[in-house]
Homo-oligomer: A and B are copies of this chain.
Amino acid sequence: MTVRFGVIGTGAIGREHINRITNTLSGGRIVAVTDVNQKAAREVVETFGLDAVVYPDDTSLIADTNVDAVLVTSWGPAHEGSVLKAIDAGKYVFCEKPLATTEEGCMRIVEAEMKHGKRLVQVGFMRRYDSGYVQLKDALDRNEAGEPLMIYCAHRNPDVDEKYTTDMAITDTLVHEIDVLHWLVNDDYQSVQVIFPKRTKRALDHLRDPQVIIFETKTGMHISVEVFVNCKFGYDIQCEVVCEEGTLKLPDVSGVVMKKEGRQGSTLLMDWKRRFIDAYDKELQDFMDSIQASGEPQGPTAWDGYIAATTADACVRAQQSGQRETIASADKPDFYA
């Protein structure tokens, strides 16, 4: 009844998931690993004291009959190939974002999974497991404040390094809002425009920062997301939904309130890892529990991965064109309803 994992990619995020499954969560075990750097793969086995086979590549790892589920934590361009092989072998897949680097790649995975006939794939969009977003979703689903009309979000990091480029504000940062917002309000993206406000002097020269991304949804909802990755003051995730009869706001992280030296207040997180640490645990625990309980993962689907890709593509086009761009995603198959 234990889910036996094969891990493809033993870099930083791979090791975190291995640690999680081995030392924190219940019901999973690492039985196989591979990495383009074989030495790194062997070291991970030793570091975590795993009873796991080191494979030379994803193909051989997936073929291992002891492997129930594959954890895809390699670099982005390699995701599609591994996921398709796993589906082909009828193995479960937990794939970190991106599901594939292109819209077409995502669609190939979607089609492979539908052809297989039941859900195998979960994409690592962890925010849906954050207790704050879960509470917000519950309130929306219970229609506590009426129908949603507008959403205001902010995704703020203290800073980023020199490898972070203007389009990564979409593909690495905004992508979490892209996933979580359409899930929150059960709506689809229609079009997008990107506004570049006055640049912060704190950003490196090659980077447009902050950015404001404005979506219109199919039902006409207005969504505004500020991405500001050199905001200096903290890691700050905001989301407020304005509905027909009231507003609903994502809870802030709570902290000790101190009064001192003429001020009262609390600390903000500076490190994004701590903000969603419980959500990372819960997404993987749920992946395992769902497989055990129903034979299918219940988290973000391959279709959600496809939507993220098509939406992010349109956002990058809108960055470049300065115009409102249409988001032309395919219609959602019944399979994913």
**Chain B residues whose CB sits within 8 angstroms of the CB of A254 once the complex forms:** 132, 251-254
Contact A222 B197 (CB under 8 A): yes
- List the number of copies, as a whole number: 4
Chain A interface size range: 35 or more
Name, among A147, A219, A224, the residue most crowded by chain B CB atoms within 10 Å (CB to CB): A224
Q: Nearest chain B CB to A95's CB is how many angstroms away? A: 23
Q: C-beta contact mask, A191-224 vs B, less than 8 Å → 1, else 0? A: 0000101111110000000101010100111101
Docked complex Cα distance between A149 and B232 (Å):
13
Least CB separation from A137: chain B residue:
B256
List 18 interface pairs A-B (beta carbons < 8 Å), by A numbering: A1-B49, A24-B285, A145-B259, A147-B198, A149-B210, A195-B214, A200-B244, A202-B244, A231-B242, A233-B260, A234-B262, A246-B261, A247-B260, A250-B256, A251-B256, A251-B257, A254-B254, A264-B265
Q: C-beta contact mask, A87-128 vs B, less than 8 Å → 1, else 0? A: 000000000000000000000000000000000000000000
Contact B149 A200 (CB under 8 A): yes
Q: C-beta contact mask, A273-304 vs B, less than 8 Å → 1, else 0? A: 00000000000010000000000000000000
A179 within 8 A of B: no
Q: Select which of B197, B231, B247, B251 is within 8 A of A266 by beta carbon.
A: B251
Q: Nearest chain B CB to A324's CB is how many angstroms away? A: 10
Q: Nearest chain B CB to A227's CB is how many angstroms away? A: 11
Docked complex Cα distance between A251 and B258 (Å):
10
Q: Given A254-B254, A265-B265, do A244 and B23 touch, yes or no (CB 8 Å)?
A: no
Contact B147 A201 (CB under 8 A): yes
Q: Given A144-B260, A255-B135, A268-B264, do A233 and B212 touch, yes or no (CB 8 Å)?
A: no
Docked complex Cα distance between A233 and B145 (Å):
9
**Chain B residues whose CB sits within 8 angstroms of the CB of A23 once the complex forms:** 26-27
A37 within 8 A of B: no
A139 within 8 A of B: yes
Q: Select which of B197, B202, B245, B259 is within 8 A of A247 by beta carbon.
A: B259
Contact B221 A197 (CB under 8 A): yes
Contact A267 B258 (CB under 8 A): no
A248 within 8 A of B: yes
Docked complex Cα distance between A262 and B268 (Å):
5
Q: Nearest chain B CB to A60's CB is how many angstroms away? A: 28
Q: Select which of B147, B150, B219, B236 is within 8 A of A226 by beta carbon.
A: B150
**Chain B residues whose CB sits within 8 angstroms of the CB of A252 once the complex forms:** 254, 264
**Chain B residues whose CB sits within 8 angstroms of the CB of A236 once the complex forms:** 259
